[in-house]
Structures are given as C-alpha cells and as structure tokens.
Amino acid sequence: MRHPILVSLCVAGTVFLSGCEQSKTEDVDRKFQGVNVVDESNLSEVMLTVSDANEAVAYFQRSVAEKPDRIDLQRGLAKSLVRASRGTEGVSAWKKVVDHKDATDEDRVDLADALIRNNEWDRAETVLNAVPPTYETFKRYRLEAMVADSNKDWKKADSFYETAVGLTTRPANVMNNWGYSKLSRGDYADAERLFSDAIRQDTSLFTAKNNLILARGAQGNYALPVMSTSQTERAQLLYTLGLSAIKQGDVETGKSLLRDAVETHPQHFEAAARSLSALEGNATN
C-alpha cells in the first residue's frame, strides 16, 4: 500500500529537483547575459579609444549588422568613422543616430561636428539651430563659434568662444581657434593675447606657438617670445617669423631669421635653406 505513495513522492521530488535545476540554469544564463553586456560595453569603449580607427569601424559595422536597433552601437560606428577621417560615411552614420527614437541633443551636436569636419557648414548650422538653447555644453558652443566664424559674424563668434572657454577646464584649443579667428580679421594684438593664453594652458600646443609668431610678425615684431620650445620647434618658429618678415617687406630681416632657422635646426632644414637660397639668388641676379 505504501508503494504508490513512495512512487508519488519520488516523482514529486524529481519534478521539484528538475524545477530547481531549470531555475538555476535560467539564473546562470541571466548572469552570463549580464556579464556579456558588460564585456561588450567595455570592448566598445576600448575600440573607440585605443584601437586603430578602421578596425573600430569594422567592429561596429559587424555589431550594428547583428543588432541594428542598438543606438549605442550606432554611435560607436559614427564616432569610429569620423575618427577614421571617413567624413561622408561619418555624416551618414550620425544622421541615422539622430533619426533613432532614443537620440539626444548630444547626438545632434555630434552630427553638426561631423558636418563641419566634412565642410558642410550650412547643414551644420541648421542642425545646431534645432538644438534647444537650454542644452549648454562646451562642444555645442565651440561649434557655434566656428559656424559664426564661417559666416563672419564676429560678434556672435566672440560671444560663443567666450562661453565655450568658461565651460571647459582645458581651454587651450578653443583659445587657439579664437585667436586664429582674430588673426583672420586683422586683430593682431588680441590674437597674440589669445595665443599666449593658449600656450600657458598647454605648453605642448605647437599650432598656437606658430600662430603666435604669425600674430607678432604681422605687427612687425620679429623677436621670439619667451616660451618652452624644443630645438626643432625653435627652428620652425624662426622660419615662420622669417617668412612673415619677408611678407611685410622686411627682406633683410627675413633672410637673417632664415639663416638662424637653418643654424638652429638639429638636422638639415630643407625648407628654410631653399627659401634662403632663393632669396640670395634673386639678390645676386
């Protein structure tokens, strides 16, 4: 009489154990899925920052093909294309991101950035105009300043550059851009001040050093300012200053600066030597 009861208990126990086993398996699967998401996210970050840009493009293209609805993967593809200097593709990829239902104002600013890099200034301006004024970031104002520059709207450009500088702890590059804007307008004194500020913020920014020399040369000041430079950088700056002097009509000063550039450079400075030879040849003729 006990056998049916025993069999029933065994069956119930087996069912219970099977249920426990299935539950454990599902829990493990869920845990591994969570780990995979984290690993994938970390890999995406690595591909965006460390990997070769074209390798990153290939990775994100595969990922987007497998999971076309994932906006984070679409963003990764767009960023990688821009980083790989594939401008037209980058713009197209950012356009897809912006058209996604989960797109943000940051995505729209990144689209504008891609458009500017692709020399599509009018489209970039249209995209930025669609971003609410309440969205205030360094990148947004830096791009707004560049667009205003392209339109020669100097008042707006200055306002946007000033705002951008206040929104970052690393303003050297935007100061350099602002200085170049002033240089292009012929406002050499302000340009010199901004380039000097940029160099104080980042002593490795050679572009700002070279621009500073252009601003000083345009004012007839042919002395190198006191700043940290390597021997090669110093030679290149002397070369820039020499060309600037020649452009101003101070040919003898320019030739002297070119000689200094040739003598200062730790190797043979072909460009400076060629310019000097051409000038001395003309003088002989």
User: pLDDT for 250-281, tens place per residue?
Assistant: 999 999 999 999 999 999 999 999 999 999 87
pLDDT tens by residue, 176-219: 999 999 999 999 999 999 999 999 999 999 999 999 999 999 99
- Examine the fold and report which residue of 68, 103, 138 is the final residue of a domain before the chain moves on: 103
Does 158 reside within a domain? no
Residue-number span of the structural domain to which 66 is assigned: 39-103
* Phi, psi (degrees; rounded to nearest 5) at 76: -60, -40
The full DSSP string for 235-259 is HHHHHHHHHHHHHTT-HHHHHHHHH
pTM to 2 decimal places? 0.80
CATH number at 93 reads 1.25.40
Q: Is residue 149 part of a domain?
A: no
Does residue 18 lie within any of the structural domains? Answer: no
131 assigned to some structural domain: no
Gap between the Cα atoms of 250 and 253, Å rounded: 5
Using CA of residue 206, residue 171, residue 119, residue 160, what is the dihedral sign? negative
Structural domain contains residue 245: yes
- Residue 161 placed within a domain: no
pLDDT tens for residues 88-123? 999 999 999 999 999 999 999 999 999 999 999 999
**Number of folded domains that form the chain:** 2
Final residue belonging to a domain, choices 103, 123, 145: 103
Question: Rounded to whole angstroms, how far apart are CA atoms 280 and 274?
Answer: 10
The tokens of 131 are what?
Answer: 């971003």
